[in-house]
A and B are shown apart, each in its own frame.
Chain A
Amino acid sequence: EAQVTQNPRYLITVTGKKLTVTCSQNMNHEYMSWYRQDPGLGLRQIYYSMNVEVTDKGDVPEGYKVSRKEKRNFPLILESPSPNQTSLYFCASSLDRGHSPYGYTFGSGTRLTVV
């Protein structure tokens, strides 16, 4: 089944403790992206990757890092999480940055709480 898999689904952590949220897709998509969803603000893009070893900042990149060493994986790294990074995070993938007829495929989300 074609899908984007995020782990973990839920995470509670303490301020300053480094964490990684993994994202993997099995569709051979070139484009992958991370979003955060906050009430009233919709989906805001954190980082995106056009292909292996090619990453770029989205609209809200501060406090996050990403890497794209393999086509299928695009982990999101929070080096020193803070409470304002408490949010619902989504990974998405697509054939390319532009919109293919099939749209973006989203993962099921990771709900992160930083205390």
Chain B
Amino acid sequence: GQQLNQSPQSMFIQEGEDVSMNCTSSSIFNTWLWYKQDPGEGPVLLIALYKAGELTSNGRLTAQFGITRKDSFLNISASIPSDVGIYFCAGQETSYDKVIFGPGTSLSVIP
């Protein structure tokens, strides 16, 4: 079946540093999504992308829909302790398909 790969699996960074993570797929997706899971909670939608090449920001977070439509990227600028959590990418081949989730990138921020 469809699979998403996320890189890196985990990151330990210093507070104030910028963060980059990515997500790749073997299939072309029409929608890319980024969710964040705080410790002890369910995932929450951060950013949704609907068009190849699209760049969308949400505060310090910026996500891009890859030109090939097989990847997406998430950047976090000037990380703070509350950025800690697991970041999931998710994709959808068409608007009628179910959403597929990646395995997640675990982010730890050292104060």
A-B contact count (CB 8 A): 57
Query: Min CB distance, A110 to chain B, in Å?
Result: 10
Distance, CA A35 to CA B90, complexed state (A)? 14
Q: Is the interface of A mostly helix, strand, loop or mixed?
A: loop
Contact yes or no, B92 A98, CB < 8 A: yes
Contact yes or no, A109 B103, CB < 8 A: no
User: Looking at the complex, which one of B1, B40, B95, B104 makes contact with A59 (CB distance below 8 Å)?
Assistant: B1
B45 at the A/B interface (Cβ < 8 Å)?
yes
Interface magnitude class on chain A: 20 to 34
Distance, CA A44 to CA B35, complexed state (A)? 15
Interface magnitude class on chain B: 20 to 34
Q: Please, which residues of chain A bring their CB within 8 A of the CB of B45?
A: 102-104
Contact yes or no, B98 A45, CB < 8 A: yes
On whether A106 and B98 interact (CB within 8 A), knowing A42-B103, A98-B92, A99-B48, the answer reads no
User: Looking at the complex, which one of B1, B40, B42 makes contact with A90 (CB distance below 8 Å)?
Assistant: B42
92-111 of chain B: CB within 8 A of chain A: 92, 94-99, 101-104
B88 at the A/B interface (Cβ < 8 Å)?
yes
B44 at the A/B interface (Cβ < 8 Å)?
yes
